[in-house]
């Protein structure tokens, strides 16, 4: 039984495409830092460490091959951010794109917000497939004609031309963040958006660049008292007054902008009580939330911490309603993961179109899906070996005990340099985009 | 460390392993780095996190470093033939276009 976004037990995931160089020489600029589908799923945007954005467009389904969903091909690419230098602090400002968020489409053009550590930009991506020809005072190549040589007049007409996709920066929202921006989120009112850094959350109007409102400020008067930072923030998908932000201590605060101008006091605080006997040196680090995402329904939210994914019911603050272990076998490797800094990796998570399945990445280019209804989870690998067109992905397994079964991989053989931090799920169909270090994999379900 | 102390530490570790793998890992870490504080996520740690980004001495230092990287990455560009010397007063159209060299993303191939 296949339905859009059906349970993972029905779905057979197949390799569809892989983008990027397949050689081992990875330039730092090519490291993918964000992946995002637009609201229709027709466009897929990626950002990288070099400040570049690449947008792919899905080809319309051809009548000849109804069993294949359209492929994603390059639609537009542009340099969104450049490296800058903060003269006051003598610090480099990285051009790495931290997040891309699409605006809902209002007219023929597409709009997206892209941000680095300090500056958010609104980009307009528009198509041009006609051009005017037959000017009286200009030659076809653009040179001006001497008016004295004009003997007859004609009316210029629009003629079709090869499709040209242009990206232009329409707004630059700068100088509002002292610390590093980790999140942007477009409001359901389609007029405002929020941006969050380590200590503050700001509210912007999409039309106004010289002003923004600070709505959350957790900076202590004395920096010696700093105990937690903001790690992610998102607007509620339907309620334009509601947003959440997560912290490095594993808490999520839901705020209502109707309550007061400054939302320092939360409306709800979501925190799972910790067993004090189990507390260790690593407890706080691994409880730090790296991503928070509302469900499409707006009823739930999902958080990702180092070892697990948790689903919270917005009506219940005391504990999550579901907890899924992503790679519990790493709990006995925390010492080495701390030494090689992997314990600070920020994994993202995402929902499928009907909120029945959630997905997140892991190490060794593994990614995991959890089916909430069937209570079934699966691990897949994004690798060149599995890159035959329409080949069905084989589930992978990590062996934890002493005996390693055939086809299983032991924890010590995992490659911790191959991490999948960014994944995205098509809003309507079973199409997923998975980013390895420098490659973008697209998988689709097998449409029979 | 005396033999007895080592033995009791091992016993404690075994006990901890039964209780929690996390505590075992913590013991491992503390053994390797005895100067490690009790709390890893204190204000100092967070402040270091807030200040991530490479610090340079000044803007001159930054531009020098960038120039070094650019020289390594790009092949040498051929020098433009300029006829603009001496008495000729250059106009904007005469000057060679200063193009920012953007290396296209490998995803867009």
Check A332 against B24: CB less than 8 A apart: yes
A21, A74, A282: residue with CB nearest B25: A282
Alpha-carbon gap, residue A422 to A416, rounded angstroms:
15
Long-range Cβ contacts of A293-299 (<8 Å, 24+ apart): A293/A234, A293/A349, A293/A350, A293/A351, A294/A234, A294/A236, A294/A237, A294/A244, A295/A237, A295/A351, A295/A355, A296/A237, A296/A351, A296/A353, A296/A354, A296/A355, A296/A427, A297/A237, A297/A355, A298/A236, A298/A237, A298/A238, A298/A239
pLDDT value for B18: 59
pLDDT of residue B12: 62
Q: What is the pLDDT of residue A389?
A: 85
Q: Which residue of B has its CA nearest to A228?
A: B46
In three-state secondary structure terms, B74 is: coil
- ipTM, two decimals: 0.77
Q: What whole-number distance in Å separates Cα of residue A302 and Cα of residue A327?
A: 17
Distance CA(A253)–CA(A255), nearest Å, equals 6
Q: A13-445 architecture in CATH?
A: 7 Propeller (2.130)
Of B46, B58, B105, the CB nearest to A52: B105
- Residues on chain A touching B61 (C-beta within 8 angstroms): 90
pLDDT at residue B42, as a whole number: 76
Give the whole-angstrom CA distance, residue A322 versus residue A393. 26
Backbone phi and psi for residue A76, each to the nearest 5 degrees, phi listed first:
-155, 150
| Nearest Cα residue in chain B from A19 | B107
Looking up tokens 């947003």, which residue turns up? A243
The predicted-structure confidence for A181-224, as pLDDT tens digits, reads as follows 999 999 999 999 999 999 999 999 999 999 999 999 999 999 98
When pLDDT is cut at 50, 70 and 90, the band that residue A325 belongs to is: very high
- Which of the four pLDDT bands, split at 50, 70 and 90, describes residue A174? very high
- At B78 the pLDDT is 44
Query: How many Å lie between the alpha carbon of A302 and the closest alpha carbon of chain B?
Result: 24
Q: Which of A54, A87, A91 sits opposite B105 (nearest CB)?
A: A54
Kind of pairing, strands A422-425 and A376-381?
unpaired
* Average pLDDT of the residues of chain A: 93
Residue of chain B with shortest Cα separation from A182: B50
How far is residue A113's CA from residue A261's CA, in Å, rounded to a whole number? 24
Can you tell me which residue has the tokens 């075992």?
B24
Q: Give yes or no for residue A1 having a pLDDT over 50.
A: no
Q: Mean pLDDT, to the nearest integer, of A420-441?
A: 97
């Amino acid at each position: 039984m296949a339905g859009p976004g059906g349970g993972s037990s029905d779905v057979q995931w197949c390799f569809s495409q892989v983008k990027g160089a397949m050689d081992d020489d990875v330039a730092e600029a090519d490291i993918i830092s964000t992946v995002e589908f637009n609201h229709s799923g027709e466009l897929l945007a990626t950002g990288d460490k070099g400040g570049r954005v690449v947008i792919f467009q899905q080809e319309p389904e051809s009548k000849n091959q109804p069993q294949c969903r359209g492929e994603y091909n390059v639609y537009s690419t542009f340099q969104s951010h450049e490296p800058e230098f903060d003269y006051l602090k003598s610090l480099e400002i990285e051009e790495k794109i931290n997040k891309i968020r699409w605006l809902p489409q209002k007219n023929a053009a597409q709009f997206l917000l892209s941000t680095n550590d300090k500056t958010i930009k609104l980009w307009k991506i528009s198509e041009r497939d006609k051009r005017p020809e037959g000017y009286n005072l200009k030659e076809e190549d653009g040179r001006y004609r001497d008016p004295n040589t004009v003997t007859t007049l004609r009316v210029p007409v629009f003629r079709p031309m090869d499709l040209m996709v242009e990206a232009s920066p329409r707004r630059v929202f700068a100088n509002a963040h002292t610390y590093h921006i980790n999140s942007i989120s477009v409001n359901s009112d389609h007029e405002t958006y929020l941006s969050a850094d380590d200590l503050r959350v700001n509210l912007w109007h999409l039309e106004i660049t010289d002003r923004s409102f600070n709505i959350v400020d957790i900076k202590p008067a004395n920096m010696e008292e700093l105990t937690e930072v903001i790690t992610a923030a998102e607007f509620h998908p339907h309620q334009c007054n509601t947003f959440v932000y997560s912290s490095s201590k594993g808490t999520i605060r839901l705020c209502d902008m109707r309550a007061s101008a400054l939302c320092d006091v939360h409306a709800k605080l979501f925190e799972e009580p910790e067993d004090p006997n189990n507390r260790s040196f690593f407890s706080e680090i691994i409880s730090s939330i790296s991503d928070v995402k509302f469900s499409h329904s707006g009823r739930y939210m999902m958080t990702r911490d180092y070892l697990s994914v948790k689903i919270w019911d917005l009506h219940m603050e005391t504990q999550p309603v579901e907890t899924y272990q992503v790679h519990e076998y790493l709990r006995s490797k925390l010492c080495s993961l701390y030494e090689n800094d992997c314990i600070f990796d920020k994994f993202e998570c995402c929902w499928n179109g009907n909120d029945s399945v959630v997905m997140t990445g892991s190490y060794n280019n593994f990614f995991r899906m959890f089916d909430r209804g069937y209570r079934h989870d699966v691990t897949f690998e994004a690798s060149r070996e599995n890159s035959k067109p329409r080949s069905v992905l084989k589930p992978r397994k990590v062996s934890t005990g002493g005996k390693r079964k055939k086809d299983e991989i032991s924890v010590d053989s995992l490659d911790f340099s191959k991490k999948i931090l960014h994944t995205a799920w098509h809003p309507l169909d079973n199409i997923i985009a998975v980013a390895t270090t420098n490659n973008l994999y697209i998988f689709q379900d097998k449409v029979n | 460390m005396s033999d007895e102390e080592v033995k009791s530490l091992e016993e404690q570790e075994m006990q901890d392993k039964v209780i929690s793998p996390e505590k075992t890992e913590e013991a491992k870490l503390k053994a390797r780095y005895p100067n490690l504080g009790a709390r890893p996520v204190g204000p100092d740690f967070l402040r270091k996190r807030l200040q991530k980004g490479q610090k340079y001495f000044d803007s001159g230092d930054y531009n020098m470093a960038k120039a070094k990287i650019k020289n390594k990455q790009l092949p040498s560009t051929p020098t433009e033939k300029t006829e603009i010397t001496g008495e000729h007063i250059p106009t904007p159209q005469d000057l060679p276009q200063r193009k920012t060299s953007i290396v296209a993303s490998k995803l867009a191939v």
